[in-house]
Structure 1
Amino acid sequence: MHWIALQWSLDAQAEAGAATAAADAMPTPEALGWWALRYTPHVCWLDEALMLEVSACERLWGGRSSLMRQLLNENPVPATAVLRGAQGATSLEALARLRLFVREEKRPPEIPAGLPLDTLSAAREHLDALARLGCRSWGEVAALPRGGLSRRFGAELRAALDIAWGLRPESHAWLTLPDVFEQKLELPALAETAPELMWSANRLLSALQIWLRARQRGARALELEWTLDLKRFNGVNLPPTQQIAVRTAEPTQDLAHLRRLLSEKLALATLAAPASWLKLRSLETDPWAGASTSFLPEDNRKGDKLHEMVERLSVRLGAMQVLVPRARADHRAEHTQAWQPALRTVQPDQPAPSKARRETQAEASQPDAIYPPWLLPQPLLLEMDGERPCYGGPLSKLIGPQRIEAGWWGGKEDGGQPAMRDYYVAESPEAGLLWIFRERPLARFSAGEVRWYLQGFYA
């Protein structure tokens, strides 16, 4: 068996502002355990230290020294927090050596017999009594009669010494990685405004990033919930909690982007009462394929990605203020697309579209080559010069007809009346190339007035 003990502490020489920021960004203890699961499946917390049992996997990391360097170099805590580590044959020995390292004391020549008694957790409540017996090290206590030691100081101290000398197996509650991220913490002080929640939300976001990397997932939807400290305010009953949801167009592990989205959302929120607890939960995640980069410099431009900017604007201005076109399976030109919010609020349990629906959407998203780049919102009725339509002069038909019959399946709620049209590319003496169509009568042999419409312009 071989154990590694790790402990994080804030840098005493750091400035007060930097130390406070580091404390706010410090991941939760559970999240630090998730980070350690990258190196070994046997991870647990023992008092103030995170313990890793690495005897079965240390060779995969190039040996003990190489593994220790990787742990120190890949510290998940901000730079102002110092990571200290120590090793030992048992968890108690590694923890004791870590405590000596933190106190800047030298390692005794004999391990574990020479270790100071105050580095053993099971002996701390009996230090005064053991000191009067002349015992100041692990070895001196272990030399006492077993029966008398257990009767006077309890079986826990004797069991700890047996573990330290390898006479009894260790038993620990190993950490596991949950399937869904959900972390809760108590605020250091009551938050009266929503932006104040970001100070504590940073810790939860740091834990979320560790969980996403360990699970190899990308976040698509998150929910931040806070507990209200009052049940009634100004004579109005209050709900126990309030929450906001944040969604992204693409899976992401970018902590800075999630922090900006959450900050924008909180800036628009209003707390019904002071908040005392904060909880972050993952609503939807997708498998993370990783980030791909290109050797071409123009493909690796600095700055925010387009979808990240659109998401921030949607949160800041409102979902209905930032719209994107969506193709529709309809051959009527004025109904081939619809506008929807760029940041879609799709529920995580909504089923995925069927294969037939995806194929229909794919066909609808492929515009016809004859379509002009500029379409009118509604067709414009053209004047007639005899039998020729006019727009800036009589029109000359160049290409056509392209015949469509669409809209027969619905009524006004589905886009209006059915359309029976013949489309042409025509040339105007003043306006250039136009896209026009002629309405065909609904009855095959009906003789009525032929009406021509202007649908779009060519550049």
Structure 2
Amino acid sequence: MPVPRRILSLWFCRLGAERILRRDGIDPALPLAVVEDTGNRQVLSALSPGAQALGLRRGQPLREARSLCPDLLTRLRNPEAEAGMLTALRRWAGRYSPWIAESGSDGLVLDITGCARLFGGEEALLTRLEEDCAGLGLTARGAIADTPGGAWALARYAGARAGSDRSGDAIDQEARATRSRATRRHWDRGGSAPVIAAGAAPASRIAPPGQLGRILAPLPVAALRLAPEVLDQLNRLGLRRIGDLAGQPRGPLARRFGQGLVLRLDQALGHAPEPVSPRREAPAFATRLTLPDPIGLEEDLLAGLDRLLPRLCDTLRQEDRAARQIRLEAWRSDGTMQWVAVGLARPTTDPARIRPLLVMKLAQIDAGFGIDMLRLIAARTEAPEEAPRPDPLPLDSRRNASPAWRPGRPVAPARDDLLARIGARIGLEALTRRHPGASHIPEKGALTLAAAWSDAPDSPWMPPPQPRPLRMWPPEPAPQLPPESLPPRRIRWRRQDCALLPHPARERIAPEWWLADPAWRSGTRDYVTAVLEDGRALWLFLAHGADLPGGWFCQGSYG
């Protein structure tokens, strides 16, 4: 008999605030709020227990919170630091299950199928996990269900009920649409995130197998992880509980509220699959230098870089890896971080090739009140490439080569260093090279590839039967003016009547019949080079009209 799937959702409701409490050693009883910018205002994203006890809530505007608590301590939100802390918690939670993934920006999801018996049952596992989090100084609330969506809903909304949003006596006979006119926003109307309900024991947050529909029915629709605008529409219609949606036909719901509502509902109830996809741990190649006193001079940064770079390159060589992108982080004494990153045209472990690129970027680092830690990271690594081939310059070109050149010395590193230096200023994506294309179609005769991620072409360029123009564009109509002749003597192109001088060169190009190319539905083309009276040379062709009307078109210019 197959073991039923069991999912545990863990919610860190005060992750942002408790990260600062742990870092700065602030008393949790003090009112502390983490503030983030949303458009043109600042709102509270996380609260300490002391701030929440005063009646403040997540999503509340900072100006309103200041009026309620003048002594409120505030810190700006650092999403990168919070994401790093959640990643560390994901690695820490590996002691409870080998299958863990992050759930949003403040939660984890664990597949505990077959694992709960190792800890004395599901309730014992949930209690132990929450106690271990409390020992780390973190407030966590977990729930267990058959699906990730159901566990997510119970972790945040267990014990909550979607009541009327109208003040005064509830009038059950009143129409739902009339009751929804009240303007007070709360969690059951898509407002701020819920708070931990008092008295919600771990046992009440565990849905027995096969009974998830009954457990989720009284919860508010906000427990389905819906967009705020969808929540507003549902509440205007009086659909406030998950049970109100579970009995509705899926077709009308999808037409009115979109496929997202139906998908979230089916995922929560187990009718649609929602796998737990843990992120694969990438090997970390990094080294850091902690400084006894803050530094701020560029010479000091260079001295620290000279210590870090050889150590990082030695580590990469030991693991048979090479750096493709290097990131230098400068952690300042106020807890913030400045960083620069450089890319390399070819993966390398040579510090002499990496150092000049980082030196070019050091001026972008603002030391502020001082830097007390440097961290050098190989953000992207690849397998080391083989030794470059010798210089392929012909004999007559070697006499005019650089004095530093000598026979047998590879020039690939020098070319790659040049690409990396230019790429550090304008970006490696802006550097391209042309490769010959395997097609006789003019616009497909050459491929544009990124120079940093491609090698020089091995096959020689095959010259076309006739010279190709320097500039090419999509074909533009150029109707022939009388008197008609071949090639034409007069055409109308770009709102101008152009007189052409005779040119005998002609070339016929047939389309690739094995490919359905919409641009070549006009059939076979006869290309001619037409010279205008002012000296400009145009590339014209006569389309014979297979599936589309034919005629004369202009596709390029030689000047």
TMscore range, shorter length: 0.3 to 0.5
The two structures have a TM-score, normalised by structure 2, of: 0.36
Greater relative contact order (Cα < 8 A, sep 6+): 1
Higher strand share: 1
